[in-house]
Copies of this chain bind each other. A is one copy, B any other.
Amino acid sequence: MKATIIALGSELLSTTKLDKNSLHITEALELFGVDLIGKLTIGDNEKNISKAIKQLIPHTDLIITTGGLGPTTDDVTRSAVAEALGKSLLIDPKIEEKLRHRLTLVNRKMGEINCKQAMMIEGGTALENMCGIAPGICIEHQETTIFLLPGVPREVDHMIETYLNPWLKKHTSENGIQKRIERTMLKIACIPESEIEERILPAYKEFGREWITILGSPGEVILHLKAQGEETHRKTKLYTMQQRLRELIGNDVFSDQADWSLEKAVGHLLANQQNTLTTAESCTGGLLAERLTRISGSSDYFLGGIVPYSNKLKTALLGIKKEAMQKHGVVSKPIAIAMAQNVRLQYQSDYGIGLTGIAGPSGGSATKPVGTIHIALAGPDDKTITHHEKFFPGNRNSIRSQAAHWALNMLRQALHIHNEVSAKTKFSHNAVRDH
């Protein structure tokens, strides 16, 4: 089955807006193994829409439009499609009655303008809109089925769920089952895309390169895995691929969930181990604390942070001596370590992070260029200190993001190792008790 998506609306041809509804429709098509052969965006022009539909019908089994079903004069989808199919438009009394009822509920009167939304293309089926006013339409013509969906994103999602998915399920049941695609992912922090690619080369060979897509952004690589076919086969294949990739990549994988961020993984480990954290950050200006506190429940483990942006506050808040800053420079290993140790000790947490660096664009030098960052992690006991000196390329914003990201990942790794060690210790304790 071949499909085309058409997004309708002149605002989608402007310099600021993109059609995002098609992404959700594409998800539905992929799940049922339908080939999306193209996407179109057309303005509110009846002639252009009608022409496009006419041209597509001979080459497409399924056409899905979004937008242009509203009551105003620039909403021309219904009439354009009717014109393309050579059908007439009629007021559907049932829809009219439902519209009148819905408008009464929100204290509005049915005006002449709303009647347009009760128009049905001859031979079509109305798709009742439970999230809004405009009903959708489904109509068959020759070998092609056309779905007319509204443009408001949550209304589109509702219509996909309620009408499109069941239709797809029914009409792809023969060979659709064999083509259905399911996806999962693995998220990796702070390793370059090229290095991940090298590590997973064996998996490319074992599973086929087309099933693993690697997508890198600064500080994060996501491996998108997909499998096709009947349900048990798909799920088993995804699970096997995921296990193999975890084996190849090691503990740099921090999640397999789309909605898990690095701070969520860190928070999960801290909460599990009942450990607390404080932060002292200079060049990231609060970004580290902000990311940690994005997570609901972070008050269980994050006691607080300080942003001693000026040297005066580094002394006032952390007791870092002016002489030490002069001797080593503020962006240095000793200062980062002092920040981590002092914030941990002064405010009594298990872990403390100290972060200092040059985010630019000014402030760099030959020995300490813009992008130089020192990160230190103190804890969980008084003696344990980890320090990383890093150089991050990019602009101010990108350097700050990468620095906060790296700090979170340093903590994640420490917690991860600590987690494994405790698990082993617990195991041996049990073993001893068993004897």
Residue numbers of A with Cβ under 8 A of B are 12-16, 18-20, 23, 26-27, 30, 36-43, 45, 48, 51-52, 55, 59, 183, 215, 224, 278-279, 284-290, 292-294, 296-299, 302-310, 312-313, 316-317, 346-348, 359-362, 396-397, 400
Contacts and interface: CB of A to CB of B under 8 A. Distances in A.
A42 B38 contact: yes
A316 B293 CA distance: 20
A232 B31 CA distance: 55
Contacts of A27: 15
B296 A290 contact: no
A38 B13 contact: yes
A237 B288 CA distance: 46
A294 B285 contact: yes
Contacts of A30: 15
B299 A290 contact: no
A302 B309 contact: yes
A361 B287 CA distance: 21
20 contacts: A13-B26, A13-B39, A15-B23, A37-B43, A38-B41, A38-B43, A279-B307, A285-B286, A285-B293, A285-B294, A285-B302, A285-B305, A286-B290, A289-B289, A293-B309, A296-B359, A297-B362, A303-B309, A304-B310, A306-B307
Please list the 10 inter-chain residue pairs (A to B) with the smallest Cβ-Cβ separation, ordered nearest first. Answer: A285-B293, A286-B286, A286-B289, A304-B313, A286-B290, A304-B309, A39-B41, A305-B307, A303-B310, A289-B307
Nearest to A295: B396
A361 B346 CA distance: 30
A191 to B, nearest CB: 21
Given A304-B307, A307-B307, A360-B296, A52 B23 contact: no
Given A13-B37, A18-B20, A38-B52, 12 more contacts: A18-B19, A37-B48, A55-B55, A284-B290, A284-B293, A285-B298, A285-B305, A296-B360, A302-B309, A306-B317, A316-B346, A317-B347
Nearest to A16: B23
Nearest to A42: B38
B310 A299 contact: yes
A20 B309 CA distance: 37
A48 B3 CA distance: 13
Contact of A42 (B37, B41, B284): B37
Contact of A286 (B20, B40, B307, B359): B307
Contacts of A279: 307
Nearest to A316: B347
Contacts of A396: 294, 296
A48 B286 CA distance: 50
A369 to B, nearest CB: 16
Contact of A13 (B36, B52, B215): B36
Contacts of A38: 13, 40-43, 48, 52
Given A306-B317, A308-B304, A362 B296 contact: yes
Contacts of A361: 296
Nearest to A288: B286
Given A38-B42, A307-B305, A310-B303, A285 B292 contact: yes
Contacts of A51: 59
Nearest to A282: B304
A214 to B, nearest CB: 12
A46 to B, nearest CB: 13
A396 B264 CA distance: 14
